Structure 1
Amino acid sequence: MTASLEGVWSPGRAPAHEFSLKVLAVIADEATRTLFSRVITSDELMLAGDLAEGIVLAETAAPDVAFIDVGLGEGAGLAMVHHLKALASEATVFALATRAELEAGAHAVALGGAGLFLLPLGGDEVLNAVGSVRLRFAERALRMQLEQEAARSARAAGWIARVAELADARDRNAAAQQLAEVFVEATGAAAAAVYLAAGERSSELVRSAAMRPLDRAPAYGTETDILDFARREQLIVVPLALRKLAAGHLLLQKEPGRSSAFPSVRRPDSAASTPRRAPLLDGLVKLLATQATTALALLGERERSAGGAAMKDPASSAYSFAYYVDVAGREIDKARRYGRRFTIATIVIEPDAAAAPERPGDLAFWRTTPAPPATTHNPGQVVEHLLRAVRDTDILARVDENEFHLLMPETAALEAHACHRRMLSHVAESEKRAGYLPKGLLVGVATFPHDGQSLAQLLRIARRRADATKSSIVHRVPQDRRSIGEIVSLLVREPPAPGGASAISAPRALDLSVSDTILLATSVVRNALRGGAVFLLVAHHDGLSLGAQVKAQLASPRDDVVVHTVDLRSSPGCDDIEALCVLAEHGAYALVGRNQGGFVKGIHAADPLLADFLAERLGRAAGLRVFG
């Protein structure tokens, strides 16, 4: 019967003679039972001397073949044949009878028995009967396996045909989505993500397709980044490669608790720059991956021949990430050759954060006007506002639904900070909320060569800085605090954000003597002046102050240094404020506190948002517009 086949034998694993059966023999004669014990050695034998014991054995383990003495119990053995067929419908039952019981034996065959043997039995008769059953079961198993293989071959042919059609997809993203669907169907994986090379000369991989929950996988990264992510998440990695042609990688997530015949995750070799090869893939998976690599290569060549078919993002006015990477690669080559600078910005739109309810006493935006209801930013609309804030030579590209990158050629970090402020201003004006900072619009910048020598380094730093703005202390300023005196008092009392002490932009408590505070400010300004253009705003008043020291450091004017010294004594509650805001090519810094008996108590942080916020508010308090 079928149940006894599973896990016992299949044509691909063992020959038919090794196929084990369950044999039941219900016989009263002791000599015949001994014969069965001596002959049946390679199968599981169940012997019974009466009908009751035979029924118990049959109910405990359904037999594949049974020998029933129809003369047992004055003819009750005949009923046993019928009862056994009800217990094990797939069982092959042979009747045993003496010459005097031939008529009962004939009835047993009529009731479903497979044959009749006369007693006394010979060993060859028993072995031939069991062997015929074994062969029949083996033939059935072989037929089932062949039918299953034929069905798999038919499905595989369909998958191969679908992969071959990838070359006709409208673009590489559409092809990647089809490829992910085919692999999920073919392998039984829970989800798939496809990473393709961002450009012809780029080492960056971009996530071109993903199925939930892998839609949370990194949007881009180097091969090492992607393989590290796969290792952490215990994903299966299928390389899309053929000889010297490499198109990318496909990640598969197994169903929880389900075993897989596919290879383990490839891991980057710690002793080499290239990752180690995985074990040989399953034949079908390897065939599909190889065919997909060829189709993607043909599609990429077609897009290049079309002259910019993949230049624009179809869902917005932004460029595609592949085009962005290609332009960034050329910009890096030019900057290295001629000693130029350029800046990239990572822009992340978090609709959920923008729409989240505010906590009492906190605000999601700093404003000069009453807080309107929070709204969710539409990425497509925000793109249009961002484009209004950038120059014609800048490249704004879309990475995924809520992430964008901005490439600013021939732009240093200070100009990038100004562009950042323009972005926020345009978004604010578009929603008729002048003077607010969207908490759900995260922006981080990185400049070549200060912040990195490669695109991968710059992208990582810009993204890290964008994420850091989400927890800026500026977002915790209550909206009813409008005067600079109130704001400074709040910042001085405000404790660092929980869990943020390790971040470089997290505020640190400041409790130093005036002379030590001046030394700290002197060091900050000196370091800022080494990197090129600098914006400085410092509070100035009579006596020993930060403003006097900054002025002393800048005895010789520089065209690339903008300095504002603001006198706050005319503003209520501001006569003891010590403040310094620095925006430099390689970072930003803000220091604010109150001079209490020769000691400055406050905070300081390498937070661009805080530096911008304080500079604007301090300048306004002194009647000065510090940012044009």
Structure 2
Amino acid sequence: MASQPPLSQPALRVLLVTEDEAAGQLVTSLAREEGDRCEVVSTVADALTSAVLGLDLAIVDLSADGGAALALPHHLASSFPNAVVHVLVDEAHVVQGADALSLGAESILVAPLSGDAVVRVLGDCRARRLRTREVTTLKTKLSLERRRLEVYDRMVRFARGASHTDAVRAIVEGVAALSGAGGVALYAAFEGQGECVRLAAQGSASDLPATCPPADLSRLVQVRQARVLPLSAGQGEIGLLVLDRAPPAPEPEVAAVADLATAMLLLVDRQEAPSGAPARVLPSRYFRDVAERLLTVARRHERRASVLVVTHGVASSRRDDLTREVSESVRTTDALSVVDEGDVLVFLPETGGLGAQTCRRRVLAHLLGERRHRGRRTSEPRSRAALGAGTATFPHDGENIKDLISLARSRARDEARSAVHALALDVISLPQIVDALIARPTVDASPRSPCPLDLPLPTLFALVSHACRAAQRGGEVVVTTTLRSGLGGFAAAARQVTTPRVLDARGQAGCEDLEVVVVEGEHGAWLCCGRVVGERFRGVHAADRLLGDLLCARLLAARSGDAG
């Protein structure tokens, strides 16, 4: 009994053209052992007739049919481009084999035919056919994925930029394209109301009612053998998606379609929300899915996007309050936030590095303002929890949402260990901040901790120019410096590279010999502060963005006039 080939290895159709009965029996027996079908003929006419039924492998004895079989390699190769043709010749007629190769044959087999040679050509043909199937499958998957990304792109663009009607229609059309359903309807559900309102519908779902209680809608679609998918977000159920006449699909694919519709509907809702309303808080899976799609759009159109992570040490009972405070600080039109692993994540589309830093400062100012309003910190461990916020910008800091979140979280945790928190610098004046840093330069062993700096002034000014030049290579840069009498100082060093913001703080007591420079780039920050003693500078330098923000704020408060 012949063995059956595995499902991944379909049976081959083998054609042997020969007048040698021994060769015919050999090929037939070996092919059947592998589960393949083999047909043996002796004339060219019979070979062409048999090949019409299908052909994967042909072995042609060139001496068959009085030598007329030499024409078969060309006929078979041209009629069946996916078939493999081998020719069989004896040693005296090897030249004919060379002619057959030029006519389309794959290789030459020398008579008498051996079992090893037959097994080899059968195996090679089977492997070639499997590779062809795999390539075809991969091309199909690639085409489907390209189509899926085009649908995602269109849905995101409509959800963010079109009118509400066009946006929900784009969602319905996208869901129909992804699911293959004959009809799709999108309903909105409102908290505290017993009615669902149809936002858009197409195909066979166009006759569904415009308004309907959720229970009645479920019974109605059950009669039609359709599917109702609830669209749920952090604040509860926001809508229903009806798929009518949808082909069978795995549950993960159906869930992915529902998740995408939820995320797009949330984007549409945020476009329609009033400017003073807080941003919606998405569950983690919705947040990451929407963020990845928006990154795809940014990559395609060479745009920027950023991620902001706020890390904190508050108790779990207060995390909802913290999330609400953050959502009130970000813009409702361009930010999504979610609580993930205890941190608050904010995605900022169309936002570069400096724009993300502006958002970061706004969030921190709001959170610190809320804390001050509740009272001063005490010795209790919970009240001593330090806030930290970090950003990462696409594409320079990462190509996917996972890398961006990881880098932003790392920067946020570094900021939570800033000298601003460790030395309580946010409650003292500018000269006191500088003196405290000089007295205790190394707060901890982190890379962003302040380090002592004792240099001659010319060397220091060269260092400042180099820092400004390095920051400028990474994109936009903002430099803030103090004003010093004469031609020297940080301001003069920074002017060699860019136009700094120069602030005169000499009018405040204790700031006469103070020198401060803060270099803020898109992907990092560097600061240097201290006092000039004779021809030397004694102070600290650090890559601490929070400390740089504090120094800039103190300079603005202490200035007696702007220059530069």
More helix by share: 2
Q: TM-score, normalised by structure 1?
A: 0.43
Q: Which has the larger radius of gyration?
A: 1
